[in-house]
Structure 1
Amino acid sequence: MKRVGWMAGAVLVCLPVAAFAFIKPLRVAVPAWVPGVQCVSASICTDNVAALADAQGLYREGYARAGAAVGPFRGTPRIVFCTTSSCADAFGMGRRAAMAVGNLGMIVAPRGWTPFYVAHELIHYRQAESLGNLAVATQPRWLIEGMAYSLSGDPRHPLGEPFEQWRSKFEAWHASIGSRDMWQAARDVR
């Protein structure tokens, strides 16, 4: 019986360490563990403190844009602002400009330092808060991505496909719900 308890304890310790090592986006949960990344507050981390004022400005503008579009946040979203590709690579960004990891936090790669990208990812964060992480992963992409492209104020028209189609489908759906609460209506989408 002691052996089973010891093994269970070892799994409980090793599993988070392995997840942190191999599932790079999960590193946003503890970004200060990533070499070169400093968290200057509970909400902003960066690999370049000299760019902090720009990061803070983008956070404020993206937060205001997203909050006005999808309602107030329950928690304090954390964003890791990467100024280098090596920082973005440490979080598994690939070619993405920015990425939300449920309601754990967001990463912004060097090319994502724009208010609409930050607002887009903050909308994904708010989706996870309102709908749950699993629902965000299983809801139709037109709802999840279309909402973020539409409500973030993304100036690119048209987007590449399927993103433009998703944005258009979301906008038609959003117009059809009238005064109904958007989050309640979104929970009913299948």
Structure 2
Amino acid sequence: MELRRPKAMLLGLALIGIVMTACHTIKPLRSLAPETFGLTCVTDTLCVEDPDTAPQAQRLATEAMRFVEVKIGSIQQTPKFQFCSTIRCFNRFGHSEFRAQYVWGANTIVVNAAGWEDYIIRHEVIHHLQAEHFGLIKASSLPRWFIEGMAYTLSEDPRNPLPRDDIEQYRQQFVHWLEAGNDWRLGPEQHAP
């Protein structure tokens, strides 16, 4: 019996080492341990870099959730929201060219210092809804025009045109598909654009 305990401890330490190595190598995995990478968690679903920003972050998260539930569809589980106030913070979790990012499989939205906008948070909550509605495997195989076009369109992103040609095309393709009488809940297999 005493021999099993050291083996179990060694196995446990090895697993911790693997997880920590993965977190240091694959940035989005760091969202699984936000406090290790400089965030302060003020609730189970809200972490911030600067605790003074918690009320604003909570307001943005709450309003985005309410918007998506009222206008688009019911959300089963609240995602985790992680708000960075500096680019340095966000660089620990994602790519600096994004204003925010949904970490598929971790049910986490990480927000860059430049992403504290209502429509950006709504966009990421829509990605969370897609993951819940379609499941991770199906959602990951859906066409990019559908995934991103839906998020840009239904979040009511006010930018016109969007900052990149490819995402503007995704939005136009989704709008065209939606105007043809399609329902997002059925997915793009219902009708190809």
One fold, TM greater than 0.5?
yes
**TM-score, normalised by the number of residues in structure 1:** 0.86
Q: Which amino acid aligns with 1:176?
A: A
Distance verdict in 2 for CA 1:9–1:31, change over 3 Å: closer
- Paired residues of 2:94 and 2:101 also in contact (CA < 8 A): no
Return the alpha-carbon distance in structure 1 between the equivalents of residues 76 and 126 of structure 2: 12
* 1:113 corresponds to which of 106, 112, 116: 116
Segments of 5+ residues of structure 1 without an aligned counterpart are none
Paired residues, number: 184
Note the C-alpha offset of 1:85.
Answer: 1.3
How far the C-alpha of 1:189 sits from its partner, in A, is 7.0
For the 8 Å contact 2:177–2:191, the answer to whether it is kept is no
Q: Does 1:90 align with 2:111?
A: no
1:76 paired residue number: 78
Q: Is the 8 A contact 1:25 1:93 kept in 2?
A: no
Query: TM-score of the superposition, structure 2-length normalised?
Result: 0.84
Contact 1:69 1:152 in 2 (8 A): no
The offset of 1:90, in angstroms, is: 1.1
| Percent of aligned positions that are identical | 32
| 5+ long unaligned stretches in structure 2 | none
Q: Which secondary structure does the structure 2 equivalent of 1:157 belong to? A: coil
The structure whose Rg is larger is: 2
RMSD between aligned alpha carbons?
2.4
User: Equivalences for 1:109-188 in 2 at 5 Å?
Assistant: 109-159=112-162, 160-178=164-182, 180=183, 182-186=184-188
Q: Work out the CA distance in 2 between the residues paired with 1:69 and 1:26.
A: 30
Distance in structure 2 (CA, Å) of the matches to 1:21 and 1:151: 34
Contact 1:43–1:77 (CA under 8 A) maintained in structure 2? yes
CA gap of 1:23–1:77, structure 2 versus 1, over 3 A, is: same
